[in-house]
Amino acid sequence: MATALIAHDDCYDHVTPPGHPEQVARLDAVLGALKDMDLVRVAAPMAAEADLLRIHPQEHVDAVRAAAPSEGWRSLDADTHMSVGSLAAAYRAAGANVRAVDMVLGGEVQNAFAAVRPPGHHAERTTPMGFCLFGSVSIAAKHALDHHGLKRVAIVDFDVHHGNGTQDLCEDDARILFCSTHQMPLYPGTGHAHEDGAYGNVLNVPLPDGAGSKAFRDAMERLVLPAVDAFKPELLLISAGFDAHADDPLAGMRLVEDDFAWVTEQLCDLADRHCQGRVVSTLEGGYDLEALAASTAAHVQVLKERGA
């Protein structure tokens, strides 16, 4: 089979204020890094309202829609801003995740990468935050469960920040295993090991500033990979943030591209064992443009090789 790359030009129209790390140029870096790869290129659809309502109450969807400015920016908090094009971009980001699940579960491709922004893993049930408006990876998980009838979906989040939104959206659903490695202390401040979900279905693995490759790989091998293995998911979702890279300006976990390739290989091994190799990955953070490009290329190259 093949690997899908799902993106949309609307994601360029989510413009953040000057100097903001979650900038339009990130998408150029990511898509530029993938431009010569043989991937099945698909335009992301807009998410349907019903897709968003699987995880967010109507009041959240209505509030985000109402917050969209007709010019300039509207700030939802100190970090999270909407421009004129942000609403469409967020609908594309969620829609890309839904389409990715449909393509992978429908057997059109082996795996998929959604190159979208804004990211999603900080968006809580009723709170947009941390550059995120809708919980795209959680929407993918619930779509796989509720629409496609899967019984177990695992989400692995190796973004350097805790996926507090994904935890908030999924911790009370025993059909979802959510695993997050992240630097602590760091934004958003959640993700302690004792936060383990209503059914023991959340695994938080905080790592210290400067952790580095060995500590990251040890934590994956000792905690995350065995948890996913034991859960036996039917689909594996990845919140692929690349801000744990050594060059990233927002954090200090000191990983390198090869660590992202390594973890992708490990996750594909588990997907081969339990999910017929089915993996959907979505872009979260990553704020040094060169490191983001190189890390994304390393990650998607593994998906492509494993999907071939």
Enumerate the active-site residues: 122
Nearest-approach distance from CB 119 to Zn ion, in angstroms: 7
Residue closer to Zn ion, measured from CB, 54 or 161 = 161
Structure tokens at 102: 């449909």
Residue nearest to Zn ion (CB): 285
* Distance between CA atoms of residues 262 and 278, nearest Å: 17
Residue closer to Zn ion, measured from CB, 152 or 161 = 161
Residue closer to Zn ion, measured from CB, 124 or 159 = 159
Nearest-approach distance from CB 150 to Zn ion, in angstroms: 27
Nearest-approach distance from CB 183 to Zn ion, in angstroms: 9
Residue of 174, 209, 52 whose CA lies nearest to 120: 52
Structure tokens at 201: 């279905």
Instruction: Dump the DSSP string for 166-193.
Output: HHHHHTT-TTEEEEEEEESS-TT----T
Structure tokens at 227: 């948890």
Nearest-approach distance from CB 186 to Zn ion, in angstroms: 9
* Distance between CA atoms of residues 205 and 211, nearest Å: 12
Nearest-approach distance from CB 215 to Zn ion, in angstroms: 18
Residue closer to Zn ion, measured from CB, 120 or 285 = 285
In sequence order, the β-bridge partners of residue 41 are 5
Q: Provide the edge-to-edge strand list for the sheet that holds 279-283.
A: 40-43, 3-7, 111-114, 279-283, 235-240, 153-157, 176-183, 202-207
Other CB atoms within 10 Å distance of the CB of residue 31: 17
Site of interaction with Zn ion (CB under 5 A): 159, 161, 241, 243, 285
- Tell me which H or E stretch contains 292: helix 289-307
Residue closer to Zn ion, measured from CB, 119 or 233 = 119
